Amino acid sequence: MKRKFLTLAALAPAAVTAHAQTSVTLYGVIDGSVEYVNRVAAGAATPTQGGSRFGMPSVGGLSASRWGLRGVEDLGAGNSAMFVLESGFQWDSGALQSAPLFNRQSYIGLQNKEYGKLSFGRQYTSFFDGMANFAPLRFAATYEPGIWWMGLNYREDNMVKYTGQFGPLQAVGHFSFGTGTAVQNANIVLANGGVGETPGNFTDNTAYGGSLMYLDSSGLGFSVAADIWRPAAVTGQPGRVNKYGAAALYNTGPFKFTAGYRYNKGEFSNGATVLRDDYWWAGINYQATPALGLSLAYYYADIKSARTAATSPETNPANMQQVSFIADYNFSKRTDVYLSVGYAHNGGLSFDSTATAFAFKYPTMTGQQNMVGVTVGVRQVF
């Protein structure tokens, strides 16, 4: 249950109009699981060592554990002020997912019922907003290649963002003065931790993008999105990462079908390609009973070229594929249990690799072609 706290306008300063009210909501999710994975390396730097792994992953099988505060104040005439503070944590140890405290979201803004919302701070990119409804597994934390799809910069600091909802059409646009993303991939550490805002070098670690999403009552949905990022490994010498995506969905009865495509090209400051790939996905969700949902998804990355450094030779890694399955049983609106299975070919689960900075902790062993993971867990939303 979400906890809400109301502050009466009478307790606010006298300058505040009498009708204003403030609500603050405490919310979150805890997701814990036990997982088996085969053929996983002991570490990215030790690919000749490893084997099967059995234990508790620090992120849940369906959701990353988190808690947050969401506040809204009615300013009258259809206007309101709002804020969100959201922190991720490792459910198995209670440790912060990463520093700082509000590592997932931290923003403030103003919104109008007719014209939309303008927000400032650490937020999800427009690309993420445009694609989120088209993720076959709803960005399941364990076996969906979310970071490969969205990029390491799918959340950014120092962002100005506009979100407008016009009937079935959503329009989003953003600009980040410095993403706060510390690496471009596992081999490229960014200047000043990626925060940007460097005097004399305005474009260092900046980013911008936009998306248009259409979802109507008939069950049809379409989206297009773009994301441009200027990561700088050396101050004053930004590279460039371009992502463009298009997706569609269709709901009919107990079925939901999703499919899409994402183009990606990352470049060093000298124009040499870091990574060029085409990413495709398709999925089907089936609500077998009011309590039981089944999901099946397929992901494919056509890797055109890759480099580990600006002057290193170009390589053409094997194309990666993955099939993922989830059976999710809901005891209530807040509590569910699940079984999730993933099979990866030519890579780690969730396409874990140098390009994702091994964020999912599935480094591959030397000579490995396939990896299988199975996780069983419980999730509670509050």
Quick one: pLDDT at residue 20? 61
Question: Residues 139, 229: contact at Cβ < 8 Å?
Answer: no
Indicate the Cα dihedral angle 45, 50, 56, 57, nearest 10°.
30
- Token digits for 308? 């580990």
- Token digits for 349? 């689960």
Helix or strand run (H / E) with residue 112: strand 105-112
Distance CA 351, CA 148 (A): 7
Cis-peptide, bond into residue 100, ω within 30° of zero: yes
Domains defined along the chain, listed by start: 3-123+156-166+246-381 (2.40.160.10)
Q: What average pLDDT values come out for the chain (382 residues) when binned by 10 residues?
A: 41 44 95 97 95 94 97 96 97 89 97 97 98 96 95 98 98 98 96 91 97 96 98 97 98 98 97 97 98 98 95 94 98 98 97 95 94 98 96
Question: Residues 55, 34: contact at Cβ < 8 Å?
Answer: yes
Quick one: pLDDT at residue 99? 81
Distance CA 299, CA 320 (A): 8
Q: What's the pTM value of the predicted model, to 2 decimals?
A: 0.92
Q: Which residue has the tokens 């694609």?
A: 131
Distance CA 203, CA 201 (A): 6
Quick one: pLDDT at residue 98? 81
Q: Which residue has the tokens 């463009």?
A: 244
Distance CA 198, CA 226 (A): 25
Q: What angle do CA 148, 150, 151 make, to 5 degrees?
A: 65
Helix or strand run (H / E) with residue 373: strand 370-381
- Token digits for 256? 């939901």
Task: Kindly report the number of other CB atoms within 10 A of residue 43's CB atom.
Answer: 12
